[in-house]
């Protein structure tokens, strides 16, 4: 029995500004999910501003070459994938529209699949791989794209013509998703509306979802702005707490060093000299704390880079962090410094 389609491929969750996504199903679990069809994609291709259309189906498969097995996923799609998704072929060539029409048993391997099935660095081009025990001739290998979310990867796919995938691997022509690329991104909203009207008219109901890459990018940007605001608020609170801590330390220092201040004044130190001394000490205390914080941040970033994802640090950000700490120390050290500068020399000398 042919395996059924699986969840939407992960790159459909990553917005590209030139793409419109037409997804099967209304999103309402109470309503039946009506599939999209290849004819829907052909109709979309005739609309103005449409550059290419990429329908696809996906299913889990077992790929094999020689005595090496690799459990992966097959993507049955059209020859327009490299154009629609701006994804070049690294070796060989992608299958053609003629291959689609003929239902040819040809395949293009993702970068990771090629590495797993051909571990000794030999070229997969012209070789046959078994996909669910069906031989496919390898015509190309896609350029490496990398992991996009979680532990999934666009590199771990086998690409076959849509007609071939339906007939030999998946068994059902029901499309999960149609990706549409546009010529003019500035008119993507009008193109999206035209696609919406076309599919609704063809299906007689709104049994699909449609959105474009710009909306996804805008939503991601808004999320990033929110996170930036939250992190900024956390940084301000941290600086405020740290500044209060520096001020308390310096106030205690003034109290404990009252006699020292009196002696300095008695030998000719001016109030401005005393104030400058304590401001420099406050800045030094805060600056050392900033340097320690930067060191901890670099160490934490290195650990995260080893365990999860790389963390990028810039010299500007590091310098800004240390400068902010020093400035905070000077601002909150101003009150203790002025209190020290305003002490009466006689009273200060008489203190114990």
| pTM (two decimals) | 0.59
Length of the chain as a residue count: 352
Query: Does one domain contain both 78 and 144?
Result: yes
Query: Does one domain contain both 228 and 200?
Result: no
Full pLDDT tens readout for the chain, 352 residues: 333 333 444 444 445 677 888 888 776 666 666 778 888 888 998 899 888 888 888 889 999 998 999 999 999 988 988 888 888 899 999 999 999 889 999 999 999 999 999 988 889 999 999 999 999 999 999 998 865 544 557 788 999 999 898 888 888 777 878 888 888 888 888 888 899 899 888 887 777 888 876 666 677 678 888 888 898 898 889 888 888 988 998 888 888 888 888 888 888 888 888 888 888 988 898 889 889 988 998 888 888 878 867 778 888 888 988 898 899 888 998 888 888 888 877 777 776 6
121 lies in a domain?
A: yes
Nearest by Cα to 279 from 216, 215, 337? 337
268 lies in a domain?
A: yes
- d(Cα 285, Cα 303) in Å, to the nearest integer? 27
User: How many domains does the structure of the chain reveal?
Assistant: 2
End of a domain among 186, 213, 240?
213
DSSP symbol at 57? E
Query: Does one domain contain both 73 and 148?
Result: yes
Nearest by Cα to 24 from 172, 208, 197? 208
Buried b (16+ CB within 10 A) or exposed e, 111-136: bbbbbbbbeeeeebeeeebbbbeeeb
- For residue 184, the model assigns a pLDDT of 85
The contacts of residue 34 (CB under 8 Å, 6+ apart) are 24, 25, 203, 205, 207, 208
Query: Does one domain contain both 111 and 40?
Result: yes
- d(Cα 331, Cα 246) in Å, to the nearest integer? 10
103 lies in a domain?
A: yes
Distances (CA, A) of 79 to 53, 215, 320: 9, 26, 50
Query: Does one domain contain both 246 and 201?
Result: no
4 lies in a domain?
A: no
- d(Cα 58, Cα 44) in Å, to the nearest integer? 21
Query: Does one domain contain both 126 and 66?
Result: yes
Query: Which tens digits make up the pLDDT trace of 116-153?
Result: 999 888 899 999 999 999 999 999 999 988 655 445 57
3 lies in a domain?
A: no
Query: Does one domain contain both 150 and 249?
Result: no
195 lies in a domain?
A: yes
Query: Does one domain contain both 197 and 232?
Result: no
Query: Does one domain contain both 54 and 24?
Result: yes
Nearest by Cα to 154 from 69, 81, 104? 81
Query: Which tens digits make up the pLDDT trace of 230-258?
Result: 988 988 898 888 889 889 988 888 888 88
The token pair at 196 is 């919406």
5 lies in a domain?
A: no
- d(Cα 142, Cα 110) in Å, to the nearest integer? 5
Domain that holds residue 343: 222-350
Query: Does one domain contain both 239 and 328?
Result: yes
End of a domain among 213, 237, 268?
213
End of a domain among 180, 213, 246?
213
Query: Does one domain contain both 241 and 209?
Result: no
Say what angle helices 213-256 and 271-307 make with each other, to 10 degrees: 140
Name residue, tokens 């940084």: 235
Distances (CA, A) of 241 to 114, 180, 296: 54, 52, 18
344 lies in a domain?
A: yes
Query: Does one domain contain both 60 and 186?
Result: yes
Nearest by Cα to 78 from 175, 3, 196? 175
């Amino acid at each position: 029995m042919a395996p059924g389609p699986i969840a939407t491929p992960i790159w459909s969750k990553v917005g590209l500004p030139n793409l419109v996504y037409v997804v099967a199903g209304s999103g309402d679990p109470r309503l039946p999910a009506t599939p999209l069809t290849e004819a829907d994609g052909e109709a979309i291709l005739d609309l103005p501003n449409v550059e290419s259309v990429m329908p696809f189906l996906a299913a889990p498969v077992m790929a094999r070459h020689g005595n090496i097995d690799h459990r992966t996923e097959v993507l049955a799609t059209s020859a327009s994938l490299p154009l629609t998704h701006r994804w070049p072929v690294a070796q060989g060539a992608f299958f053609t529209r003629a291959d689609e029409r003929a239902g040819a048993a040809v395949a293009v391997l993702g970068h990771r699949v090629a590495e797993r099935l051909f571990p000794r660095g030999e070229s997969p081009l012209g070789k046959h791989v078994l996909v669910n025990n069906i031989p496919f001739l390898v015509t190309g290998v896609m350029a490496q794209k990398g992991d996009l979310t979680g532990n999934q990867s666009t590199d771990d796919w086998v690409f076959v013509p849509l007609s071939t995938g339906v007939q030999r691997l998946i068994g059902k022509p029901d499309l999960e998703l149609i990706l549409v690329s546009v010529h003019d991104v500035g008119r993507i909203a009008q193109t999206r509306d035209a696609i919406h009207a076309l599919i609704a008219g063809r299906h007689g109901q709104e049994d699909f979802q449609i959105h474009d890459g710009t909306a996804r990018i805008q939503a991601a940007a808004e999320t990033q702005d929110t996170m930036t605001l939250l992190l900024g608020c956390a940084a301000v609170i941290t600086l405020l707490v740290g500044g209060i801590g520096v001020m308390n330390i310096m106030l205690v220092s003034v109290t404990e060093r009252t006699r020292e201040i009196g002696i300095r004044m008695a030998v000719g130190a001016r109030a401005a000299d005393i104030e400058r001394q304590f401001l420099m000490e406050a800045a030094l205390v805060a600056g050392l704390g900033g340097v320690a914080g930067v060191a901890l941040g670099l160490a934490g970033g290195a650990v995260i880079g080893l365990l999860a994802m790389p963390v990028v640090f810039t010299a500007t950000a590091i310098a800004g962090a240390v400068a902010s700490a020093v400035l905070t120390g000077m601002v909150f050290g101003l009150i203790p410094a002025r209190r020290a500068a305003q002490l009466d020399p006689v009273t200060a000398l008489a203190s114990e």
